[in-house]
Every structure is written in structure tokens, then in C-alpha cells.
Amino acid sequence: MRTVERIMRMLVPADQVRADPSDPLGRMRTREYRQRREVVKHFWLVAGGAMLLVPVLHWVVAVSLFTTFVSFMYLDEAPALAEQWCDHH
């Protein structure tokens, strides 16, 4: 990354940063992605509470696996990328 781009990233507020297609981690700096991460955090807080209410190993494993699946599914941007691809072709 060039020096000018680094300086601009430091000066521009994080909620105004747009995803740069050449930066593989650029989407993580967008406001929408951070909002999704906050929702996932709440998923895990609720799941953790459920695990504390029923402290049985098979329940904890099942809730953990389900919450992991839901977290990855919610954070996945493949549907948006597929839509962009269809628009271009």
C-alpha cells in the first residue's frame, strides 16, 4: 500500500471507508461489516447465557456449533458478491 493511501486511511473516519477491491481485508473496515460483527457478538452473548443455564456437555457443544454456523453464515458476503457478478455478466 502506498504512503498516501495509508495517510488517507488515518485521516478519513472509519465509517466512511469503502471496501477496496485490491485489499482482501478492506471489507472488514466498512461500517456495515462492523455492524454485522456487533450482531454476531450478541449472538454469542445469548448463546453463552444458554450454555450457562444448561451446563451439560452435549448442550454446550451443540449450541457452540450452531452459533458458529450462524455467525459464519451471517458474516458471509458471498450472496452480495454473487449479485455483483450477475450484474456485470
pLDDT bin (cut points 50, 70, 90) of residue 53 is: very high
Q: What is the mean pLDDT of residues 24-44?
A: 84
Cα four-point dihedral sign 42, 69, 73, 76:
positive
Confidence (pLDDT) at 20: 63
Tell if the pTM clears 0.75, that is, is over it: no
Please name which of 32, 42, 46, 45 lies closest in space to residue 75, comparing C-alpha atoms. Answer: 32
Q: What is the mean pLDDT of residues 59-85?
A: 84
